[in-house]
Amino acid sequence: MRIQDAKKLTRGTVIFSIKFLNADGTPQRWRVNGMVKTWKRDPSRVKVPIMYGLRCGDYLTEDNAECYSLSEGCAARGQHLAPTIPTLEGQTIVVKNGDAVLAQDPKTLKELRGLYDG
């Protein structure tokens, strides 16, 4: 999410987390539960109170805005933006949904990288 999009949020708007997933693999739904705070001296700053469930609250700021999306589809695709870790033997460990997967053959690695680019 861009800073401009975060500044336009209103109370009750539902946003989706790219970083956190529900148990069934869908993106977590967070809702805006307060007024958007902006600064006149620094227009690049924003602070939006958000809530997940009944007791889990946080703030959407300029530092973590890229972890949230306005549409569920974009957030679902964002879960594939996992880092790859090259090993000394030339193999690659791919971190997918919190699990490390060892991609040994080039075909599997190409398919996994295709998920990240899509």
CATH of the domain at 26: 2.30.30
Q: What are the residue ranges in the chain where pLDDT is below 50? A: 79-85, 88, 118
Please check whether residue 9 is in contact with residue 48, taking contact to mean a CB–CB distance below 8 angstroms.
yes
Based on the domain organization, do 90 and 43 belong to the same domain?
no
Alpha helices by DSSP H, 1-118: 3-7, 72-78, 106-117
Domain count, the chain: 2
Based on the domain organization, do 73 and 101 belong to the same domain?
no
Based on the domain organization, do 59 and 103 belong to the same domain?
no
Domain, as residue range, for 45: 3-78
Based on the domain organization, do 94 and 47 belong to the same domain?
no
Based on the domain organization, do 33 and 91 belong to the same domain?
no
Based on the domain organization, do 37 and 59 belong to the same domain?
yes
Residue in the block written with tokens 């690659």: 92
Q: What is the pLDDT of residue 75?
A: 59
In angstroms, rounded to a whole number, what is the distance separating the alpha carbons of residues 62 and 94?
A: 28
Strand runs labelled E in the chain:
14-21, 27-32, 37-38, 46-52, 56-61, 68-69, 84-86, 92-96, 99-103
Q: What is the pLDDT of residue 118?
A: 46
Based on the domain organization, do 27 and 65 belong to the same domain?
yes
| Residue of 27, 28, 31, 26 lying closest to 48 (CA atoms) | 31
Based on the domain organization, do 51 and 25 belong to the same domain?
yes
Q: Please indicate, yes or no, whether the overall pTM of this predicted structure exceeds 0.85.
A: no
Neighbours of 7 (CB within 10 A): 14
Based on the domain organization, do 90 and 45 belong to the same domain?
no
The two beta strands, 56-61 and 46-52, are antiparallel
Q: What is the pLDDT of residue 37?
A: 94
Based on the domain organization, do 93 and 53 belong to the same domain?
no
Based on the domain organization, do 9 and 44 belong to the same domain?
yes
Based on the domain organization, do 71 and 16 belong to the same domain?
yes
